[in-house]
Structure 1
Amino acid sequence: MTTTDPIERLRDAINSHDPQRIADCFTPDYRAELPHRPAESFTGSDRVHANWVAVLARLPDIRAEVLRRAAAGDELWSEWEMVGTAPDGTQAVMRGPVIMATRDGRIAWTRFYLSPVPGL
C-alpha cells in the first residue's frame, strides 16, 4: 500500500533506493533552501533525482528514519536520521530537521538542515 502522507512517502522512497521514486515525491518546480549552505540551494525535481543518484552511488544501503514530526496545514516539520555505509566501510550518519511545504500531496519547498554527524 502506498501512503499519501508526504513524509512517510519520502521516507519509504529513500529506503527503496530508487532515485526516480524519490524525485516523484516532489513537485516539478520544487524549491530546496539550504540555509547553512545557500550556494547548494536549487530548484526542480530533476535535480532531486540527480542528487539521489549521487547519494545512492556513495551510500547504496542508506536508511532513512523520521524521528519526530509536526504539521500545521500544508507545512510539515520533521527530524530525520539517515545512516549508510561509505565506500571506505565506515558508517555515514546525517541528522537534522527538514521543514516542508506541500502542494497536491507532493513536496513543493523545503528548508533543509540535515548535516553529517562526524565521528560515529
Structure 2
Amino acid sequence: MNEKTTSQTILSRMQKAMNAHDLDAFADCFAENLRSYQPLHPQRGVIDHAKMRENWGGLFAHVPDLVAAVRRSVVDGDQVWAEWEIGGTTVENTRYLSCGVTILTLENDRIASVRFYLDNVDMAD
C-alpha cells in the first residue's frame, strides 16, 4: 500500500468510527504515544491516549447522533490535512456543529500526532 493510500485509509477509518460512535475503532486509529494539540485552545491539548478516549467518549455521549464529514483532504508525506464538519443534536436537544481542519501525522499506520483547528460554530438564534 502506498503512502497516499495508507493516509486516506486512516482518515476513512477515523470518519467511519466517528459516525458509528465506535470508540474502540476510533481509538485504534491513534498511536498509544499520541500527541494532540489544539492551538486555538492550548489548555485542551492531550498527550495521553486514555484522555483522548475519555474526551471522545464524552462527545459521543453528549451528541448521540453525531455525524462527521470530511469536506476536503490532502496528503503531504506523512501528514493528512482534512477539513471536517461534525454535527448533531446534544442530549439537551440543542444543535451541535463543529468545523475546521485537522493535521494528522502518521507513524506505523496510526495517528501519532494531531493538530485540531476545530471549533464550535456560532449558531444563529
Scaled by the length of structure 1, the TM-score of the pair is: 0.92
Following TM superposition, where does structure 1 have runs of at least 4 consecutive aligned residues deviating by more than 3 angstroms? none
1:51-80 Cα offsets, whole Å, 9 max, x none, are 111101110110000000001111110000
Match of 2:33 among 20, 29, 46: 29
- Structure 1 residue runs of 5 or longer lacking an equivalent are none
Shift of 1:98: 0.4
Paired residue for 2:64?
60
Aligned ranges for residues 73-84 of structure 1 at < 5 Å?
A: 73-84=77-88
Instruction: Work out the CA distance in 2 between the residues paired with 1:75 and 1:53.
Output: 25
Q: Which amino acid aligns with 2:114?
A: T
Cα root mean square deviation, aligned: 1.4
- Determine if contact 1:62/1:83 at 8 Å carries over to the other structure: yes
| Offset of residue 16 of structure 1 | 1.1
8 Å contact 2:64–2:91 — kept in the other structure? no
Higher helix share: 2
Alpha carbons 1:63, 1:82 under 8 Å: kept: yes
1:88 positional shift: 2.4
The runs of 5 or more residues in structure 2 that have no matched partner are none
Q: How far apart are the structure 2 equivalents of 1:50 and 1:71?
A: 28
Normalized against structure 2, the TM-score is what? 0.89
Amino acid at match of 1:107: I
Structure 2 residue corresponding to 1:70, chosen from 71, 74, 79: 74
1:92 paired residue among 87, 96, 110: 96
